Amino acid sequence: MKKFLLTLCFGSLLCHSGVQGATQSPNVLFIAVDDLKPVLGCYGDKLAKTPNMDKLAARGMLFEKAYVNQAVCAPSRNSLMLGIRPQSMGLYDLKTYFRDIPAYSNTVTMGQTFQKNGYTAESIGKIFHASLNDKPSWSVDNWESKGETYAIEDNRAPMKGEKGTTTEAGDVEDNYYQDGKIADEAVARLKEKKANPNQPFLMMVGFHKPHLPFVAPKKYWDQFKPEQFSLPEFRTAPEGSPAYALGESGEIMQYKKLPVDKLPFPDDFARHLIHGYYAATSFTDAQIGKVIAALDELGMAENTIIVLWGDHGWHLGDHGKWCKHTNYEEATRIPILISGPGIKPGQRTSSLIETVDLYPTLLELTAQSTPETGIAGVGLDGTSVVPILKDPKAKVNDYVFHAYPRAEKTDDTKRKLIGRAVRNDRYRLVEWKEPNDPAEKAAIELYDYQADPLEKKNLAQENSELVTQLRAVLAKLPEAKPQMGGEGAPESGYEKKPKKKKKDKAGDGE
Ligand SMILES: [Ca+2]
């Protein structure tokens, strides 16, 4: 196996790195952070306290224009691990396991490809969405933390399957909570790896925060003062956008002890939530710091590629919206950091990257060939961004793509729309229609991020030329597939209604 990897020495990256041990296949430490938007110091956020992610950014390449393929957990994580966009597979929901769809049963995931090529592949915490973990992806079963969600009794959910409070500042140690335990486990595993230095590994570590509830030990809250946080400037839907495009913030409305039953939240509570998001992000940042410190102390960093990825962004009250579940900028833009042997430190790029690019990128960085995916007619949707890692001015994507499903209900009709979005350097166009509907039935959104970064106005009506041009880009892709998985499946991909406190078997739900 190692010979195969050696003969495929990859361009100037690792071969020219000159680091000791560069002849061995590099390891990959992949850090996934649930619901992490780029409110990080390294992305220019002045309030964020994220010293560890900032240091990680300084070790390699920071992608300023990184986007998810769908702004919700399960499909976003599928697109990472399968390298295929949700609209190519018709998997937008939170409950359909891809191998249950006969056409996808033999799909080869990133974890499987690494194993086939001599790596161990393991996941700690949340990589696939909760109950959708894919066992064949891993050499050993996924390890999930048994840590507590809440430290304070009164904050807990009234009944199993329901939600507790939106926030908590527990007077507890880091590893009282889940993410502290995940960091401890990752550190222990790295120590085990040290004893077996000739065995290359893919270790994927998935932290749960800053996903709701915004829970963190009190010391992370105390780094901030509530009055530091200001409310978003623009708090309504974009003018001229379809009524369904923004959705209903149903996820947060399922939590208990909310000050109102219906949005908007009072300003002081909105500010408290933003404070909570920053505190939870700092908490996860500290856990990431422990894992990377262990990698450094064990002397393994020189031969390890480190990737940090947020599974999607978050609306912190912008557009009057909370949570994710949209095609808008705040829900779809994510942090991506890549460092490792041969990658120059301290680099930033404004070249576009999307989640599906990570699978082929990691294959190229570790000199593995691209697998058959097992899906008829569907190869990997992404493109390796190794050219960008060599030169931050290089471009591999003129466009990135994402999608979100949405039900449109009127008194007598219910349409299951897919909003397919294309984003380039400056614009985003979203085309809303049912799969296979004729193009003229679509509702169109168009935003200009240079002139209108807050998405105040849908410009589609007044820019027909640009609309035609960007729709032609979408039309080159296969039509979005409808939700696969038979009757009933599509519903769960659509955002839940506020206050509908249904049991959530996945334990996360959004
Ligand atoms: Ca998520």
Domain-wise residue ranges, the chain:
2-398, 402-493
Contact 358, 309 (CB under 8 A): yes
Gap from CA of 104 to ligand 1 centroid (Å): 23
Max intra-chain CA distance, the chain: 68
Does 487 score more than 50 pLDDT? Answer: no
Of 125-129, 370-374, 437-441, 466-470, the poorest mean pLDDT is in 370-374
| E-assigned strand segments in 56-107 | 61-67
Q: Tens digit of pLDDT for each residue in 170-211? A: 999 999 999 999 999 999 999 999 999 999 999 999 999 999
What is the distance of C-alpha 122 from the center of its chain?
19
Q: Domain spanning 402-493: which CATH class is it, in words?
A: alpha beta
| Distant-in-sequence, close-in-space partners of 293: CB < 8 Å, separation ≥ 6 | none
| CA 72 to ligand 1 centroid distance, Å | 5
The CA 270 to ligand 1 mean position distance, Å, reads: 20
User: Active-site positions?
Assistant: 73, 129
pLDDT digits (tens, 9 = 90+) for 79-91: 999 999 999 999 9
Q: What are the structure tokens assigned to 247, written together?
A: 């959705």
Fold of 2-398: Alkaline Phosphatase, subunit A (3.40.720)
The dihedrals phi and psi of 349, each to the nearest 5 degrees, come to -140, 145
> What value does the mean pLDDT take over residues 258-262?
96
Is the pLDDT at 324 greater than 60? The verdict is: yes
Looking at the chain, how many residues does it have?
510
Task: Output the CA 317–ligand 1 centroid distance in Å.
Answer: 17
CA of 298 to the centre of ligand 1 (A): 31
**3-class DSSP state for residue 105?**
coil
Concatenate the DSSP letters of all residues of 119-160 into one string: -EEEEEE-SS-GGG--GGG-SS--B----BS-SSGGGS-SST
Instruction: Write out pLDDT tens, residues 417-433.
Output: 999 999 999 999 999 99
- Per-residue confidence at 3, pLDDT binned at 50, 70, 90? very low
Tell me which DSSP letter residue 162 carries.
S
Report how far residue 454's alpha carbon sits from residue 54's, in angstroms, rounded to the nearest whole number: 25
- How many A from CA of 190 to the centre of ligand 1? 25
